[in-house]
Amino acid sequence: MGLSALGLYGCTQMSTGEELVRESFFNNVAPPGAVYLFLAALVGLLVYGFVRHASLWMIGKPHDQPILREIPHRLRNALRLGLAQDKVRRDRYAGIMHWCIFSSIVVLTLVTAQVAINDDGPVKFLKGDYLLFFRFYGDLFGLIGLVGVGMAMNRRYFQDHARIRWDERPEDHLIIGGLGLVLLTGFFVQTFRITVELFPDHVSWARWSFVAYGLAEFVRIFDFTEGQILFAHKLSWWTHVVLAFSWLGLIVFTRLDHLFFAPVNAFFLRTDSPGRLSRIENIEEREIFGVGYIQDFTWKQLFELDACVRCGRCTDVCPANLAGQPLSPMHLIQDLKGHLANVGPLVQRAGHEHGDARAASPLTMVGEVIRDETLWACRTCYACVQECPVMIEHVPTIVDMRRFLVMDEARIPATAQQALENLETRGHPWRGTSLERTSWMEGLGEVPIFDGSQEYLYWVGCSGALVERNLPITRAVFKLLRESGASFGVLGQEETCNGDPARRLGNEYLYQILADQLVQTFKSKRVQRVITNCPHCFNTFKNEYPQFDGRFEVLHHTQFLHGAVRSGALRPTHRVDASLTYHDSCYLGRVNGVYDAPRQLLEMMPGASLTEMRRSMSKGLCCGAGGGNMWQEEIGERRVNHVRTQEAVATGAQQVISNCPFCIQMFEDGVPAVQPEEDGRLRPFDVAELLERAVFGPDGGAAQPAAAAARGDRG
């Protein structure tokens, strides 16, 4: 048997009997200790690379989450998301390819380590049946690695896979080609070893190295002399060793560093909801509010920059990028990474020498390195975060830079500024509306005002109360709550915006004022459980208000209604007879994982036929309104809501159903643009509007208030 699949050490040899003899073939190829010299050089290079990276991460601020808590959970993340590359499996081809390559590297590293320990340690354990198995799985995983390399080369060079070439660099070819050569030369080393030592004896155990044995059989056809084969063995050995250590050395200088950084970043991954943005503590005392300079990021955010592998998966799913707008999450991270490499050492030096690190950069990070329009194009939909295989959290990084633009630089699109001004002066972001918080109550009879005695607060929200299109949705939810017998009330005129638009647009100061006020209102009214119309309100109350000591049980209306139908409190007995497609809102679906309840509600409605869009559930495409873009003018080739509307139209459905008032508004705008003719036009509805028809019939429950009163409805 020849060298291990990586071919870095000498090995044991089995004689024709049972005796195992220590073999010094290694010394016939290279001077003693040569491999260990290579290994020492590699370790030194890796340590240098880590120290160089770490010194740049440390210019950042402290991370806002303690990373030494919830260790079991973090270790599971490191194993599942980092080592097992769970997210890559969303792309089946890439998942198989990565598994082949990664498992091969891991197993062959263990193979080589075992050979080294066996040859140079006091215990000889590579013998007997285990030696046969050892030879077998060494060849097996070498072959598996070559399959992975072949798949990678096929995708890169033969498939029309555009995102791979968005930021292609020479190192990418070295990585994949170099690994293939390392694996091939490892097999060649074994092949020539088997050829010169075993033939023509045909020792049967050699067949356990089934790949090298097969190649050795092929080499015998050419009837080389023993001297020629020995020369080929020595040449292949040196070639293999140089290639192997050179390839491993690429870890310091290329994206191969993700082999280490991905599991570590998975360990660092937040343990709470991804929909929670960080709070700026002691905001009244701050001089700098957002992130305008590279050192204003946390060390964790700077670490994420080095974890990026330029795979393009984030950009491939970004709604702004799909619409031809000026945002590519991958390029944003890479631009920040390049800026860190260029400016980081200057910041370190300036901080040590003068204490003025802000004067170190020749470029303004926000505005020159990262353009304003890039930041404003983000929908904060978390599609990039969902897809990233190395767990980079792009959205908090973007919002941190927005905070600098808004609170430090006062640079914000005019329409977004108007929305923020409305929030300050009127308590909602809608300009020009003539509606009031109670307008939706007209014609509904007595609407209970929450006084603390009811079980639920029904939170209508700004869009549910002040946008004409959304009033039918609010009324539908109200009538269904009443019909279900739920104990609930509303705040009416006391409602005000919970601050979500301000936080996503970067005005953290205004958000904190609104959040503090509303938390106090909820506490004074003894609010315990909340039902929301809007997924954005749902996320804010559920995930972000605990930062302000506002802890409530929060349900989206689809969750409550789903439970009411399952319990029999609501009975959808009337046929709706419509073909439907369902749009997952980002903040209910991707951010908070609520996918089943709305779909199961639709399935419970007689006559409803559901067809999924090409992008659905966790891969669903944003409607375009998120991240404050409801109040911004879009810059780019197309509008995001038109892209999503086209996907809905492509299903052939009669109605597109969602669970978010923003999404409904965006479809109402997008459908006429995509389908100019009114005949056969797709119609947008909320889940509650459809359930209202299924429960009350075509009249939508106009006569229900009296009936509810007759039943002694507690609402």
Instruction: Say if residues 589 and 706 touch (Cβ distance below 8 Å).
Output: no
- What is the side-by-side order of every strand in the sheet holding 578-582? 608-610, 578-582, 655-658, 683-686
Instruction: Check whether 202 has a pLDDT greater than 70.
Output: no
- Model confidence at 29, pLDDT cuts 50, 70, 90, reads low
Nearest CA-CA partner of 687 in 578, 617, 601: 601
Hey, what are 193's tokens? Answer: 């070893």
Instruction: Say if strands 488-489 and 683-686 run parallel, antiparallel, or are unpaired.
Output: unpaired
Give 620's DSSP letter. P
Q: Which of 65-79, 301-315, 386-400 has the lowest mean pLDDT?
A: 65-79
CA 308 to chain CA centroid, nearest Å: 12
- Model confidence at 160, pLDDT cuts 50, 70, 90, reads low
pLDDT 10s digits, 479-504: 999 999 999 999 999 999 999 999 99
pLDDT 10s digits, 526-580: 999 999 999 999 999 999 999 999 999 999 999 999 999 999 999 999 999 999 9
Instruction: Check whether 205 has a pLDDT greater than 80.
Output: no
CA distance linking residue 389 with residue 305, whole number of Å: 13
Angle value at C-alpha 29, between 26 and 32, nearest 5 degrees: 60
pLDDT 10s digits, 576-635: 999 999 999 999 999 999 999 999 999 999 999 999 999 999 999 999 999 999 999 999
Nearest CA-CA partner of 459 in 424, 422, 496: 496
Instruction: State the CATH architecture for 91-267.
Output: Up-down Bundle (1.20)
Label each residue of 509-535 as H, E or C.
HHHHHHHHHHHHHHHHCCCCEEEECCH
SS3 499: coil
- Model confidence at 88, pLDDT cuts 50, 70, 90, reads confident
- Model confidence at 3, pLDDT cuts 50, 70, 90, reads very low
Q: Which of 57-71, 383-397, 574-588 has the lowest mean pLDDT?
A: 57-71
pLDDT for residue 23: 40
Nearest CA-CA partner of 202 in 226, 220, 223: 220
Q: Which long-range contacts does 393-396 make (Cβ < 8 Å, 24+ apart)? A: 393/270, 393/274, 393/301, 393/304, 394/314, 394/329, 394/332, 394/333, 395/274, 395/277, 396/277, 396/278, 396/301
Q: Which residues contact 451 (CB under 8 A, 6 or more apart)?
A: 489, 525
Instruction: Check whether 24 has a pLDDT greater than 70.
Output: no
Q: Domain ranges for the chain, please list them.
A: 91-267, 283-411, 418-625+636-710
Work out the average pLDDT over 463-471: 96
SS3 581: strand
Helix-, strand-, coil-residue percentages of the chain, each rounded to 5 = 60, 5, 35
- Model confidence at 272, pLDDT cuts 50, 70, 90, reads confident
Work out the average pLDDT over 195-211: 70
Instruction: Say if strands 20-22 and 12-14 run parallel, antiparallel, or are unpaired.
Output: antiparallel
CA distance linking residue 264 with residue 270, whole number of Å: 12
Of 358 and 634, more confident: 634
Nearest CA-CA partner of 440 in 422, 423, 463: 463
Burial grade of 466 (CB within 10 A; 0-12, 13-18, 19 or more) = buried
* CATH class given for the domain over 283-411: mainly alpha
Q: Which of 114-128, 145-159, 233-247, 429-443 has the lowest mean pLDDT?
A: 114-128
- Model confidence at 230, pLDDT cuts 50, 70, 90, reads confident
- Model confidence at 279, pLDDT cuts 50, 70, 90, reads very high
CA distance linking residue 255 with residue 170, whole number of Å: 12
Hey, what are 659's tokens? Answer: 């669970």
Rounded to the nearest integer, the mean pLDDT of the chain is 88
pLDDT for residue 702: 54
